[in-house]
Amino acid sequence: MIDRRHFLGTGGLVLAGVASAGLAAPRRVRRPARPAPQEALIGDLQERTFRYFWDTTDPATGLAPDRWPTPSFASIAATGFALTAYPIGVVNRWISRDQARTRTLATLRFFANAPQGPAPSGTAGHKGFFYHFLDMQSGTRFRQTELSTIDTALLLGGVLFAQSWFDSDHPDEAQIRSLAEQIYAAVDWTWFTPRAPFVSMGWHPERGYIPSDWDIYNESLMMYLLALGSPTHPLPAETWTAWTDRFAASWSDRWGEPHLAFPPLFGHQYSQTWVDFRGIRDRFIATKGLDYFENSRRATHAQRAYAIANPGKFAAYGPEIWGLTACDGPGDFKTRIDEVERSFFSYSARGPGDRDDGTIAPTAALGSIAFAPEIVLPAADALHTRYGSAIYQRYGFIDSFNPTLTVARPEIHQGRVEPGIGWIDRDYIGIDQGPIVAMIENRRTGLIWRTMHKNPHLRRGLKRAGFSGGWLA
């Protein structure tokens, strides 16, 4: 837990020089203002979260583990967030540009050269897509995991960010740009539409396409933009309209202002890690008089409103303790707590009224810091003040905790019950760490958004989807 005294300075004015006869009056010099305690906490959190990626990623392959400290396979989506974190480390002077360049180049070389093909083992992907999880040692498919369209898109977010950020004449940076182009151009989006126009969620070499498509509003905004922007295998421009025509079913005014609802907050955060939707609109969102950034602001406020209402009567929920998303949980079981039978879940996508078991994920609020800092900063401070001794550790906030579950149960298969706090997770999860470090930077400097403004592939995808206005004009 951070010593909060570290954040509190004396401030004010100090005297410079010595007053003496015949000399000018002493000069009053204002010390540089110390950041407010909440902002200092956010700064410390961002560095710790960056260190998660820098320390746990394999420097030879660039593969990032799905979780830590539990021994884990690699996550291609977490690797996309790791690629995004490295330039953040440079601009904040936690690592050098040379260090970031070396790690990024190793990562892109791995994916550019990774074996591809339809075989059920011995490959990392097929048709330019990659398997959701890869073995950390061999770099090939982990067990029978699926070829994942959304996780490939999250990997590509980091790949294209690296392509645009490493823009110098250094030969390694030129190679980064070339490899990024190769990796992106290899993805055959048209192959992954067995039920056109929508993209399937995945494919197994043993049994073919997963019988579910990306056909509602969720985290796949960027995936479709990348599919439309492909220089080699683009989806038809009409795909975007066909998809957004289905959004009306997700429009809701429950828990606050009307918005496109998707219960877990990661659905509002992942795409906007890389895509700056401020002031640009497609046909659908223009009819609602807002943009997708504003939509995510409303979704964030809706989660807080839900926590304040607290229909499930969970412990700690309120105006400063809130945040539901996909995260670890204690296990899959039922038990009675204070005469109420409660259902608990292991790793699940949680949202208002959707598998809510009292498990709070700090990434849910913190990944929305760029959308609604006015409610996220107090939430971060409250999480740290009330629970930091247990949940704020080496790499920032652990993945999740549950103040309602205060009695140890044999069914708990992840984490432990901490006296006076409740159940706490043991792990950090890469795809939950990623939005924290990235969205803190977007809120602070807009680094990722500004960098992606100039990426030609993203710009092409946005224009083919019908976006206009703002920075895209």
User: Residue 100 is part of a domain; what is its CATH number?
Assistant: 1.50.10.140
> Is the pLDDT reported for residue 95 higher than 60?
yes
Q: Is the pLDDT of residue 20 over 80?
A: no
pTM: 0.92
Task: Decide if pLDDT at 297 tops 50.
Answer: yes
* Alpha-carbon span 46 to 172, nearest angstrom: 27
Number of domains in the chain: 1
- Give the domain extent around 184: 37-472
CA angle 375, 327, 137 (to 5 degrees): 130
Q: Is residue 10 part of a domain?
A: no
Q: Please state, in angstroms and rounded to a whole number, the distance separating the CA atoms of residues 306 and 94.
A: 38
pLDDT tens-digit series, residues 264-276? 999 999 999 999 9
The predicted pLDDT at position 36 comes to 76
Amino acid at 113: N
Give one word for 199, left, alpha or beta, with left for phi > 0 and alpha for psi -120 to 50. beta
Specify if 23 maps to a domain: no
Residue 24 pLDDT: 39
In a domain, residue 354? The reply is yes
Q: What is the 3-state secondary structure (H, E, C) of 190-238?
A: HHHCCECCECECEEECCCEECCCECCCCCCCHHHHHHHHHCCCCCCCCH
Residue 393 belongs to what H/E stretch?
A: strand 392-393
| pLDDT tens column, 212-236 | 999 999 999 999 999 999 999 999 9
pLDDT tens-place string over residues 386-436: 999 999 999 999 999 999 999 999 999 999 999 999 999 999 999 999 999
Bridge-based pairing state of the strands 129-131 and 125-126:
antiparallel
Dist CA 293 CA 278 (whole Å):
5
332, part of any domain: yes
**15: confidence class by pLDDT, cuts 50, 70, 90:** very low
Q: How confident is the model at residue 7 (pLDDT cuts 50, 70, 90)?
A: very low
The H or E element spanning position 67 is strand 67-68
User: Confidence band (pLDDT; 50, 70, 90) for 251?
Assistant: very high
Q: Within a 13 Å sphere around the CA of 341, how many CA atoms are in the beta-carbon half?
A: 2
Count CB-CB contacts under 10 A for residue 259.
26
Over residues 183-205, the mean pLDDT reads 98
Q: H-helix or E-strand containing 459?
A: helix 456-464
Q: How many CB atoms lie within 10 A of CB 154?
A: 27
pLDDT at res. 73 = 98
Residue 106 lies in a domain: yes
Q: Is the distance from CB of 124 to CB of 114 less than 8 angstroms?
A: yes
The predicted pLDDT at position 35 comes to 66
In whole angstroms, what is the distance from residue 450 CA to residue 88 CA? 13
What band does 34 get if pLDDT is binned at 50, 70 and 90? Answer: low
For 340-397, how does the pLDDT look when each residue is reduced to its tens digit (9 = 90+)? 999 999 999 999 999 999 999 999 999 999 999 999 999 999 999 999 999 999 999 9
* Average predicted confidence (pLDDT) for the chain: 93
Could you give the residue ranges of the DSSP H alpha helices within 357-425? 362-366, 373-391
pLDDT band at 17 (very low <50, low <70, confident <90, very high): very low
Residue 5 reports pLDDT greater than 70: no
How do the residues of the chain divide into helix, strand and coil, expressed in percent and rounded to 5? Answer: 45, 15, 40
Quickly state the pLDDT bin for 33 (edges 50, 70, 90): low
Q: Quick one: pLDDT at residue 27?
A: 42
- Run of H or E residues at 104: helix 97-113
| C-alpha angle 270-273-278 in degrees, rounded to nearest 5 | 110
Tokens of 57: 């990623």
Residue 78 CA to residue 57 CA, distance in Å, equals 10
Over residues 67-91, the pLDDT tens digits come to 999 999 999 999 999 999 999 999 9
**Is 408 a domain residue?**
yes
Q: How far apart are CA 220 and CA 149, in angstroms?
A: 9
Residue 435 Cα distances to 274, 369, 381, angstroms? 10, 9, 18
Distance CA 378, CA 354 (A): 25
258 lies in some domain: yes
Q: Residue 78: beta bridge partners?
A: none
Strands (E), 128-195: 129-131, 133-134, 147-148
- DSSP bridge pairs for 340: 337
